[in-house]
Structure 1
Amino acid sequence: MKKAPLYSRSRPRAGLSPAVTDAPLAAAEPAKPSLRSPRWRTLRLFLARHPRPQAALAAVLLLVLGGVAEHTLLPAPAALNQKDVDAAVRRSLEGEPLPSPYARAAAVIRPSVVRVIGLADDTDTSKASDDPKAHTRSTGTGVVIIDNGTILTNLHVVIGSKRIKVTFFDGHESEALMIGAQPENDLAVLRAKSIPDDLAAATMRGTGDLLPGDQVVAVGFPFGIGPSVSGGVVSGLRRQFRSPDGERLSNLIQFDAAANPGNSGGPLVTMDGSVVGIVTAILNPGDQGTFIGIGFAVPIENAAAAVGLPPF
């Protein structure tokens, strides 16, 4: 029995022979997306309704291309090593040197340092007191410890004086009264009758962590000259000293920063400008009373007790 021939169900196109029509269909190529397809029309409509995303997309694309170009065209910076860092620091310091630790400490304490003069009578001796040779015994230094004009100094600077005059860092002068004393530590507490604006009180620091070899600065008015700054180190702790009049002082800080008559009552400060002691004496076997490298200061704990401040 003969089988019926199989034909394509599509109609033959005009101009094509039946042979072409009946030939097996070639494998269809994948369809390419047309700009008229629904997907492209939707995208075009979205971009037309939302122009800002186009600008943002263009900006992001430009940034990305710029970063790629920079990374490609510019050479990468060389890695810094310790030698480069040291050289840069050296150049910076040579161009603008930093102040010394002594200078920084002195700058901190300077607004709190005062000149103290004990006057034996009511005569105006302001001119004579500027002479380094005048009033050697009664010329000393003090340090403001409370910004209401409360000042610490040595008792031997003001004892026996009928009048006490203090001169602050800005040149302001005032009479002062002694409101307290601690003879066993050669300390006196003064209160100025008038004070300059924005008077700064010194920062006090306990001596519990003070060690021999620590750097210190003494600021004062040696022989009335000053304020003068001298630097050194702590030479020892818990020292004893007997003054020429027989007074015995104990628990003293020994230091080698230069101190002379007139430094008495001034602050001994650490490198951060904090007061750790009140300069009170120098050791000198001779009769000249000048510095030979050994000075003593009362620890600030004792000095604070003289004022009634709580212990550190």
Structure 2
Amino acid sequence: MRKAPLYSRSPRQPSPPAPAAAPRLTPEDAAPAAPTAAAVPAKRRSPWRERAAWATVGLLLVTLGAVGQRAFAPGSQVLTQKDIDASVRRSLEKDPLPSAYAKAHAAIAPSVVRVEGDDGPDDAPAQPQSTPKTAKKKPGTEGGGPPLPNHATGTGVVIVDNGTILTNLHVVAGSKRLKVTFADGSESEATLVGAQPEHDLAVLRARSIPDDLVAATMRSTADLQPGDEVIAVGFPFGIGPSVSGGVVSGLKREFRSPQGQRKLTNLIQFDAAANPGNSGGPLVTMDGSVVGIVTAILNPSEQRTFIGIGFAVPIENAAAAAGMPPF
């Protein structure tokens, strides 16, 4: 029987062997030889399966490496909440965050103005006819605010970026000329455009304003509670702008001036330091929003200084004085 030829992958063909005597065939030699692996066409492999196999192997190696590293790492421990807290404390000690008071002050500072009033010349602008004229009283008779000498100093807060400013009526009452100084140092004359005597509020309008004037954000007092942190910003004794911090001490308080000439109701009581010159300034929450206008301090003695009890008119009343809709 003729023997099946075998093929080699080598490009070179071997030289044909010299003729030799035909070997004697045995029954095993007579059977055709099984084809070699080179002669059998390889089964086509799937690229997707090959990639999946390599990915599985890689994942296994990574997992084994991580387990081995943890097992052989000297003194390795499981990270606990205590470790995290300690790390946070170390970071804060190295680079402390600004206080809540500092953040609140940064938010309101561009809107706080210094308000000054004096008698001025005889031809200075008078108060509007729609506003009741209030004669200038002797020092010490202006409720809880600073006394009004010939030159009065108080505080105001910008509530509209067109130069509309809220302050206390007792700060500007009787003044024929008003001047406001903005946060950037620029000055402007101002006129009285509205008043609400029952809440000791006055609305001013600056004649010229900075290009980048920022109006304060106002917030309802509906959710204000005793214990909420607040700051008072103003010009106590003409110094400032100055900021003091405290908490809301109470709500819906009443205050009557020492002479009994004026009674204010529905006031916010607070313990952030306020002194003559703070009148008309904003009472501000920690998110930088105005919730009241500082209007009075309580001191049973003859001294007109702060002993821990201040009062502010809720911003709802102040907004109404400016003709703004309620919250």
1:212-231 → structure 2 map (5 Å cutoff): 212-231=226-245
Q: CA deviation at 1:102?
A: 1.1
Q: What is the total number of aligned residue pairs between the two structures?
A: 279
Question: SS of the residue aligned with 2:107?
Answer: helix
Distance across 2 between alignment mates of 1:302 and 1:72: 67
Aligned to 1:4: none
Question: SS of the residue aligned with 1:170?
Answer: coil
Aligned to 1:128: none
Question: SS of the residue aligned with 2:250?
Answer: strand
Ranges in structure 2 where 5+ consecutive residues have no aligned partner = 4-21, 123-145
Q: Structure 2 counterpart of 1:215, which letter?
A: E
Give CA deviations for 1:65-96 in whole Å, capped at 9, x if unaligned: 87367436643785421011111110011001
User: Structure 1 stretch 244-253 or stretch 260-269: which is displaced more?
Assistant: 244-253
Q: CA deviation at 1:292?
A: 0.9
Question: SS of the residue aligned with 2:185?
Answer: coil
Question: SS of the residue aligned with 1:110?
Answer: helix
Distance across 1 between alignment mates of 2:325 and 2:292: 16
Aligned to 2:84: 85
Aligned to 2:62: 67
Aligned to 2:248: 234
Instruction: Say what the alpha-carbon RMSD is for the aligned residues.
Output: 3.6
TM-score, normalisation: structure 2? 0.75
Q: Structure 1 counterpart of 2:25, which letter?
A: L
Aligned to 2:302: 287
Aligned to 1:266: 281
1:93-112 → structure 2 map (5 Å cutoff): 93-112=92-111
Ranges in structure 1 where 5+ consecutive residues have no aligned partner = 1-9, 48-52, 124-131
* Pairing 1:184–2:201 present: no
1:1-312 → structure 2 map (5 Å cutoff): 14-17=23-26, 34-39=37-42, 67=62, 70-71=65-66, 74-75=69-70, 78-122=77-121, 138-245=152-259, 246-312=261-327
Question: SS of the residue aligned with 1:265?
Answer: coil
Q: CA deviation at 1:228?
A: 0.5
Against the structure 1 CA distance between its residues 291 and 83, is the aligned structure 2 distance closer, same or farther, given a 3 Å change threshold?
Answer: same
Distance across 2 between alignment mates of 1:72 and 1:15: 66
TM-score, normalisation: structure 1? 0.78
Distance across 2 between alignment mates of 1:137 and 1:35: 111
Give CA deviations for 1:9-60 in whole Å, capped at 9, x if unaligned: x799941357x679xx8xx99x7872443336x77xx99xxxxx9xx99x96
Q: CA deviation at 1:100?
A: 1.4
